[in-house]
Amino acid sequence: MRLVKLLANLGYGSRKEMQQAIRHGWVTDRKGNQLKADAKTDHKDILFDDEPLDPAQGVVILMNKPLGYVCSTKDQGRLVYDLLPDRFRMRKPVLSTIGRLDKETSGALLFTDDGTFLHQVISPKSNVPKVYEVTLDRPMNGSEAALFASGEMMLENEQKPLKPAELDVIDETHARLTLHEGRYHQVRRMFAATGNHVTDLARSRIGTLTLEGVDEGQWKILSEDDKALIFS
């Protein structure tokens, strides 16, 4: 891929702007040599304004999403993309969230520009577990674990029962819930069906991938070993 197109696809600017950046000497190799538009330098050896390039297509990002942010590129208010470098919004292919967390849910959120990887994570065949830390308005009644694990629970206005889910009761108003699917507001609706209300919700794990080392509002690019944890 030509250098101008590569830089534009990574969101650093338009092709015209990248042509100007190259002419001004802002694009170099690691030895400080200025690169030309037709340079055939390895991605890892290219610097833009003395900084290594962002990862090529196929990047996967883990964010520790704070409360109050929306998983959208167009909605009003605070967006999860506001927590990433501005150029990430301009990447081609687009950088998409893998599933969503609503505005009032925090925790582990994945992004990728790899459509195959995205569908692999969300596919029912992958059966990727997602773990949520739940705080409730009222004490649980004691029947929730059996109901959630039954595989027979129906949510309002749906025609298919939920897959079995595992509930680990921490105390009377705190629990850890593991889901193997991702329906609209599923955790909140499950507890609402038992007569309770979720007051705080955070996703703590996807597969065996945790948020260790990623503070609230921060993000990291996943290594191949990190990505493997999603499916383990």
> Is pLDDT above 90 for 167?
yes
Kindly compute the dihedral angle of the four CA atoms of residues 158, 164, 165, 166, in this order, to the nearest 10 degrees. 160
**Can you give the pLDDT at residue 42?**
93
- Cross-strand partners of 132: 177, 203
Give me the pLDDT at residue 38, please. 86
- Could you read off the pLDDT of 120-137 as tens digits, one per residue? 999 999 999 999 999 999
Mean pLDDT score of the chain: 95
Instruction: List domains and CATH numbers for the chain.
Output: 3-52 (3.10.290.10), 60-124+208-230 (3.30.70.580), 130-206 (3.30.70.1560)
Q: Provide the 3-class DSSP secondary structure of residue 120.
A: helix
- What would the pLDDT profile of 13-50 be if each residue is shown by its tens digit? 999 999 999 999 999 999 999 999 888 889 999 999 99
- Mind listing the pLDDT tens digit for each residue in 192-205? 999 999 999 999 99
Confidence of residue 103 (pLDDT cuts 50, 70, 90): very high
pLDDT, tens digit, 9 for 90 and up, residues 38-84: 888 899 999 999 999 999 999 999 999 999 999 988 878 899 999 99
Backbone φ and ψ of 98, nearest 5°: -95, 95
Structure tokens of 214?
């990623």
Distance CA 160, CA 224 (A): 35
| pLDDT at position 76 | 81
14, 47, 164, 230 from 25: Cα distances, Å: 17, 11, 58, 40
Average pLDDT over residues 209-230: 97
- Of 41, 52, 80, 47, the closest CA to residue 64 belongs to 80
- Among all residues, which ones are annotated catalytic? 102
Average pLDDT over every residue of 104-133: 96
Cα separation, 60 vs 220, in Å, equals 9
Flag whether pLDDT at 159 surpasses 90. yes
- What is the rounded distance in angstroms from the CA atom of residue 172 to the CA atom of residue 55? 45
CA distance 203 to 161: 22
Virtual torsion, Cα 169, 134, 136, 98, nearest 10 deg: -140
- CB pairs under 8 A, 24+ apart, for 125-129? 126/231, 127/180, 128/180, 128/206, 128/207, 128/230, 128/231, 129/178, 129/179, 129/180, 129/205, 129/206, 129/207
Longest Cα pair distance anywhere in the chain, in angstroms?
Answer: 69
Average the pLDDT over 219-225 and give the result. 97
Element containing residue 149 per DSSP (H, E): helix 144-149
Q: Average pLDDT in the 79-104 region?
A: 95
Q: What is the pLDDT of residue 31?
A: 93
